[in-house]
Amino acid sequence: MQAAQFALARLPCPVPLDQLRIPGPRIGYLGAIDPLLDLDLIVEVARRRPDWHLVLAGPIAGLARWQVPTRPNIHRLACLRASQVPEHVSDWDVAILPFKRTAGEAMGALAVSRARELLVAGRPVVATSVPRIVQSFGRAGVVRIADGPSEMVGAIEDALAGRRERGEWLARVDSALAAQASSLEGPEPRDHPGQRLAVSLGVALAAALRIQRIRRRADPRT
């Protein structure tokens, strides 16, 4: 998916029908449901907070169906098409990346990419301490890092409480994304730090607005 698709989640989106039946707060995971996920952690968070609803959106890979956790407040959605991702992610109160800590090496850059996508989408993110996520976003304070059920529950509670300062938080997110882009792409003009990503995010958001307008013209109900 392109950045513009994830940026769409920052805009008002209709609640998708398959999530309309799921009460809030909605805690969402986007990606493969595979052996790299800490399924025990997911189950324990759901057990400790039955008032939260955990949404797992993605295909099952490398697991038997019976291994995927089932509880009244755990909801698995079918694999989403790219066009469906923004409206689903936009409807989440918090996004989680509950990877096994031992999965850091296997995840590689994929873990950072997924965290980046969710931040571009404007979602608060809570992740386990996968080293690359910690290095890229945890130290900057824009992704909450939590290991174990108690820490994970506490970090999600903190993220839910922080929704009141969304504007300030988004500014910090975009600064962190800009800093990361600068480090990856080489030096920028000293008087315009973070200019590259600021421009790219602006383009992505503008493209997202255009996509949404086109959709509304094609279907006035959206």
Per-residue pLDDT tens digits for 11-69: 888 888 889 889 999 999 999 899 999 999 999 999 999 999 999 999 988 888 888 88
The candidate with the shortest Cα–Cα distance to 16, out of 50, 55, 46, is 55
* Residue 163 predicted with pLDDT over 80: no
Domain assignment present for residue 91? The answer is yes
Q: What is the pLDDT of residue 49?
A: 97
Domain assignment present for residue 193? The answer is no
Percent of the chain with pLDDT over 70: 75
- CA 216 to chain CA mean position, Å: 25
Q: What is the CATH number of the domain that holds 121?
A: 3.40.50.2000
Domain assignment present for residue 68? The answer is yes
Domain count, the chain: 1
Domain assignment present for residue 55? The answer is yes
Domain assignment present for residue 20? The answer is yes
Continuous segment of H or E residues that includes residue 28: strand 26-30
3-state secondary structure of 133: helix
Domain assignment present for residue 154? The answer is yes
* Residue 134 predicted with pLDDT over 70: yes
Give the span between the Cα atoms of 152 and 48, in whole angstroms. 11
Domain assignment present for residue 191? The answer is no
Domain assignment present for residue 206? The answer is no
Q: What is the pLDDT of residues 60-114, one digit of tens each?
A: 888 888 888 889 999 998 778 888 888 899 999 999 999 987 766 666 678 888 8
Mean pLDDT of the chain: 81
Which residue range(s) make up the domain with 49? Answer: 3-165
3-state secondary structure of 102: helix
Ranges 24-28, 198-202, 205-209: which has the least confidence = 198-202
Q: What is the pLDDT of residue 113?
A: 84
